[in-house]
Amino acid sequence: MTDRLSHFRLGERLTYPTWKSLVNALYSTEESKHSNVYRGHEKIAKTFERLDAIRSKHEGFHPELALQFVEEAEGTYHTGLPLRDVKESMDRFHFGSNEFHSVYHIPTVSYSYISPRIETILGIKPEDFTLERLYSMMPEGGLHHPEDIHHVLRWGNLAYVVLAIPGFVFRANDDHYLVRHRMNVRSSSIPEISAAEYVLIEKRAYLCHDSETGTQLKPSMHLDRWTVLDDVKAHYVRPQFVTSPNQSALMNSILYLLNAMLINVPVKFLLLLNERIDHDRNKAIANNVCDKIKFHAGIQCDLDDQKVADCFAKTIRSRMKEAINTWEPKEGGHQIKTDTDAVKAALKLGLLPIPPTVEKLIYRGITDV
């Protein structure tokens, strides 16, 4: 399927691929064929159904989604050290003065263990470090950052979708999901931490298994290694899977495409927004897009600076306003008045920058019809 271009004759008769078609195209790349994941190609429709479940519950914390995805997971999971051994090792070596760890149990939607080091590092008691306070967006406040929380939840659910795709291989205590987001620490018992109001925290979530499960690894439990970093005024939540190099690239491309498909900003708009990151002049944007279309698709494009300006002013800004207010709701709403505002919204939504592998697929999928 393709998306016929009808806005301001941007590129005249060019037809751009849809996000759904790009997901299918990714499964047909040489990188995908060299992994085991292509054998699950016929089940991609199930992945799209899971996106609908996320779409209908995007304004809150819905742990039942993760439980559903995990129950349907068809990846391959290899055991590592039992959970008890890993915990003892982490407690003994401490790793870093700014690190603590926890164990999350998906079926019970709770932490079964939180290292007491959290109180030394963040001034937060283990019993106060709960899923409700982290992610449920409590009216009275919690440990979340209001600008990050919706994105953390969306990406987390998408990660479970990727985890469920047949063909991917995960090794306990090794392969992991990495995400950074800001945390509210105003309630900290440490004055210096409390005064900072927010810190940037990095979570590495490792699949793990309890010794009671023997050699069977079930993706229902993960050990989280938390690293506390300095706060930053502007931060964009953009997680990634860290596995073997080839698999990581493929998994992160799929993760990006599923997020883009969920938010559903037209492909052609993101190509222009992606160029706007590095170029202020509309002429430079037009030239770069035309050059890439020529190189990858072999098509001569007639895009010029005026068409780029019109597309941003009359279409892209309004579309990004709709998207950011849908996926990051806030009192009073977001205003998108400039091209820079539109780029920032796309960055917050994880739509920019477009990964090189995905960008190449997009340009190769453009046709002249």
Residues 81 and 215 in one domain: yes
**Is it the case that residue 3 has pLDDT exceeding 60?**
no
Does a structural domain hold residue 215?
A: yes
Domain boundary among 214, 246, 262: 262
* Residue 166 binned pLDDT confidence (cut-offs 50, 70, 90): confident
pLDDT, residue 29, reads 74
**Is it the case that residue 80 has pLDDT exceeding 90?**
no
Residues 239 and 323 in one domain: no
Residues 29 and 124 in one domain: no
**Is it the case that residue 284 has pLDDT exceeding 60?**
yes
Residues 67 and 12 in one domain: no
pLDDT, residue 5, reads 40
* Residue 7 binned pLDDT confidence (cut-offs 50, 70, 90): very low
Report which of residues 80 and 336 the model is more confident about.
Answer: 336
Does a structural domain hold residue 42?
A: no
Task: Say what percent of the chain tops pLDDT 70.
Answer: 86
Report which of residues 269 and 7 the model is more confident about.
Answer: 269
pLDDT, residue 93, reads 59
pLDDT, residue 89, reads 65
Domain boundary among 238, 262, 286: 262
Residues 142 and 276 in one domain: no
- Structural domain range at position 340: 2-34+265-368
Domain boundary among 208, 240, 262: 262
Mean pLDDT throughout 163-170?
A: 83
Residues 257 and 282 in one domain: no
**Is it the case that residue 309 has pLDDT exceeding 80?**
yes
Quick: pLDDT tens for 90-102. 666 566 789 998 9
pLDDT, residue 8, reads 36
Residues 223 and 130 in one domain: yes
Does a structural domain hold residue 350?
A: yes
pLDDT, residue 75, reads 74
pLDDT, residue 159, reads 92
Quick: pLDDT tens for 29-67. 766 665 665 455 566 778 888 899 899 888 778 888 888
State the average pLDDT for the chain: 86
Residues 111 and 126 in one domain: yes
Task: Say what percent of the chain tops pLDDT 90.
Answer: 57
Residues 253 and 332 in one domain: no
Quick: pLDDT tens for 176-226. 999 999 999 999 999 999 999 999 999 999 887 665 554 455 567 788 999
Does a structural domain hold residue 41?
A: no
Does a structural domain hold residue 40?
A: no
pLDDT, residue 91, reads 63
Residues 99 and 144 in one domain: yes
**Is it the case that residue 229 has pLDDT exceeding 70?**
yes
Mean pLDDT throughout 144-156?
A: 94
3-state secondary structure the chain: CEEECCCCCCCCCEEEECHHHHHHHHCCCHHHHCCCHHHHHHHHHHHHHHHHHHHCCCCCCCHHHHHHHHHCCCCEEECCCEHHHHHHHHHHHCCCCCEEEEEEECCCCEEEEECCHHHHHHCCCHHHCCHHHHHCCCCCCCCECCCCHHHHHHHHHHHHHHHCCCCCEEECCCCEEEEEEEEECCCCCCHHHHHHCEEEEEEEEEECECHHHCCCCCCCEEEEEEEEECCCCCCCCCCEEECCHHHHHHHHHHHHHHHHHHHCCCHHHHHHHHHHCCCCCHHHHHHHHHHHHHHHHCCCCCCCHHHHHHHHHHHHHHHHHHHHHHHCCCCCCCCCCCHHHHHHHHHHCCCCCCCHHHHHHHHHCCEEC
Q: How many domains does the chain have?
A: 2
Quick: pLDDT tens for 11-31. 457 999 999 999 988 877 766
Residues 148 and 258 in one domain: yes
**Is it the case that residue 168 has pLDDT exceeding 70?**
yes
**Is it the case that residue 6 has pLDDT exceeding 90?**
no
